[in-house]
Amino acid sequence: MAPYKLPRTIIPPKSNANEIILVANGDLRPLANQEGWAAQDTIEKCIGRAFAKLGMTIRAVGQNADVARSLGVPADRIYALTMGTSSALAASAGSLVATIFWVVPTSGSPLALKGFIIVILGGLGSIPGALIGSYIIGLTEAFSVVILPSQYKELVGILVMLGVLFLRPFGLFGEEDSI
């Protein structure tokens, strides 16, 4: 019998002492590569759901729960699992945002609006579209502050979304029957 192998562990990258951020209360803290960990977690979840048996089961329940139930899939447990997973990812995203911004009841509203714009821009139900849409919105907002005052950067994102919806009403990567 082969000896038990421990799962692969991921060693966090070392932070440079000169990488600092200004947090909401005015303190300076070292940047701990939180964005990299969040991106790695998101990519692992997407790949795991796309190719694992559980991911195929989740997609089957999402497409047609009645047929999945008839094939023996416990759809209620799958709904609970996806709700728990999405809540855990939202909580981890909230904890990452809380280290940089003030935490007030309305602190998620601008981020929710930006997420809505990205999903509509990329196309409903398209993960590659959401990724490309986030890059488009991020880059246009970042480069718009060169030309316009920084107060208008959210407006630029909304105008990009409206321009894409005018040309392609179902988003960049969305399909016509997904509306």
What is the rounded CA–CA span in Å between residue 172 and residue 121? 6
Domain hosting residue 68, numbered range: 26-103
144 shares its domain with 90: no
137-167: b (≥16 Cβ within 10 Å) or e = beeebeebeeeeeeeebbebbeebbeebeee
Last residue of a domain, one of 38, 72, 103: 103
* Residue 30 belongs to some domain of the structure: yes
* Residue 11 belongs to some domain of the structure: no
Tell me the pTM: 0.56
135 shares its domain with 77: no
Last residue of a domain, one of 75, 103, 131: 103
78 shares its domain with 138: no
94 shares its domain with 139: no
CB–CB of 157/138 below 8 Å? no
119 shares its domain with 177: yes
| Residuewise pLDDT in 10s, the chain (179 residues) | 455 454 444 444 444 444 444 444 444 444 455 555 566 666 666 666 666 778 788 888 888 889 989 988 899 998 998 898 888 888 887 887 787 777 788 877 888 888 899 998 888 878 888 888 889 998 998 889 888 888 888 899 899 999 998 988 888 887 776 55
